[in-house]
Amino acid sequence: MGRKRKGDPVSGWVCLDKPYDLTSTHAVSRVRRLFNAQKAGHAGTLDPLATGILPIALGEATKTVPYLMDADKTYRFTIAWGRTTATFDREGETTQSSDVRPDPDAVAAALPAFVGEISQVPPIYSAIKVDGERAYDLARAGETVELKARIVRIDAARVTAAPDVDHVEIEIDCGKGVYVRAVVRDLAERLGACGHVSALRRTRVGGFTEARAIGLETLEEFGHKARHLEALLPVETALDDIPALAVTDEDAFRLKQGRSIVLIPRQVEALKTRLNPGSRIVSATTGGQIIALCEMRAGRLEPARVFNIEKSGDLTDVDYDRTQG
């Protein structure tokens, strides 16, 4: 018999509005403690100096984290003109200064060069590993760090505000792996100016938006567990772009046992039109609740991740599937 997990079998997502000056790891720990959850994780690190959307998975929702890591994101950030810093944010030491203050029109005219699939060199103060060491640790130790350019995708970039001549606010929609500090570094260079990120906020991760977000202080002010549970989003919230197929109770039972089910031809054709390019992943549901994430192969659904979630009282009780991880 396996060792019983500490905590309650709570499952779901918290769309946390992470506060300033808090690491993602500490945010997860505090949320997990508030819910007394057996396990927790997050989908996409947010720098301590950034605020905004940090999706936190509890219980069975942790099985869906990999499907949210690749989700599109939206960032809103402010550039402070006049100085470049070692870290390209306001905490770094000044490395260069300039009197150039690009106006909002000049910034808007330069942004199209950053839209599409672009080559971007990550900042040396980043968590990327170099020979097994974090780049930021090497940089802080005074070692020379060279990072290779990588292809990233930015879908849109726009100027959203210009509060004064020293600052401009920009919003971008992008794919995974984009470093805002690198965007600011390269944009300033293109405009012949010095600049750094003075404020950064993530406003969207896939289907997790500011409209769904809740602050950490608000969660901590809730007086009892039932109110905490009201803040939970369903496990399948992270799977908005994965087609769902309602299955019979008999097929649901087979999937829970790790066995495949046969699809009828019209189901196969319907799913093919809804699958993401290059993907075979389908969500199997019954009664509106997720049963399994499956791969569609040769007219069958083969379970890859199985969920056993049953409602009981005011908690979500989970029978953890030890074979699926």
| 3 state SS for the chain | CCCCCCCECCCEEEEEEECCCCCHHHHHHHHHHHHCECCEEECCCCCCCCEEEEEEEEHHHHHHHHHHHCCCEEEEEEEEECEEECCCECCCCEEEECCCCCCHHHHHHHHHHHCEEEEECCCCCCCCEECCEEHHHHHHCCCCCCCCCEEEEEEEEEEEEEEECCEEEEEEEECCCCCHHHHHHHHHHHCCCCEEEEEEEEEEECCEEHHHCEEHHHHHHCCCHHHHHHCCECHHHHHCCCCEEECCHHHHHHHHCCCCEECCHHHHHHHHCCCCCCCCEEEEEECCEEEEEEEEECCEEEEEEECCEEEECCEEEECCCCCCC
The first and second tokens of residue 186, run together, are 């390269």
Cβ count within 10 A of residue 97: 10
**Could you tell me whether strands 244-246 and 281-286 are parallel, antiparallel, or unpaired per DSSP bridges?**
parallel
Biggest CA pair distance of the chain: 71
Give the pLDDT band of residue 136 (cuts 50, 70, 90). Answer: confident
The pLDDT, as a whole number, for residue 323 is 25
Give the pLDDT band of residue 311 (cuts 50, 70, 90). Answer: low
Residue type, 310: E
In the chain, ranges of CATH 3.30.2350.10 domains: 12-71+207-236, 73-205
Query: How many Å apart are CA 296 and CA 261, to the nearest integer?
Result: 10
Q: What is the residue whose two structure tokens read 């990072």?
A: 147
Query: How many Å apart are CA 229 and CA 231, to the nearest integer?
Result: 5
The pLDDT, as a whole number, for residue 324 is 30
Task: Select the CATH number that applies to the domain covering 12-71+207-236 from these four: 3.30.2290.10, 3.10.350.10, 3.50.50.60, 3.30.2350.10.
Answer: 3.30.2350.10
In the chain, ranges of CATH 2.30.130.10 domains: 242-318
Backbone φ, ψ for residue 95 (5° rounding): -110, -20
CB 183 within 8 A of CB 172: yes
Give the pLDDT band of residue 223 (cuts 50, 70, 90). Answer: low
Q: Pick the catalytic residue: 17, 47, 173, 251?
A: 47
Give the pLDDT band of residue 18 (cuts 50, 70, 90). Answer: very high
Give the pLDDT band of residue 3 (cuts 50, 70, 90). Answer: low
- Positive or negative torsion for Cα 244, 287, 72, 42: negative
For the domain covering 242-318, report its CATH number. Answer: 2.30.130.10
CATH architecture designation of domain 73-205: 2-Layer Sandwich (3.30)
Give the pLDDT band of residue 79 (cuts 50, 70, 90). Answer: very high
Q: Out of 111-115, 129-133, 293-297, which region has the weakest mean confidence (pLDDT)?
A: 129-133
The pLDDT, as a whole number, for residue 224 is 62
131, pLDDT greater than 80: no
Comparison of pLDDT for 81 and 228, the residue scoring more: 81
Average pLDDT, the chain: 88
199, pLDDT greater than 90: yes
* Average pLDDT value for residue range 234-250: 91
pLDDT above 70: percentage of residues in the chain: 92
Length of the chain: 325
Active site residue 47: yes
The pLDDT, as a whole number, for residue 155 is 98
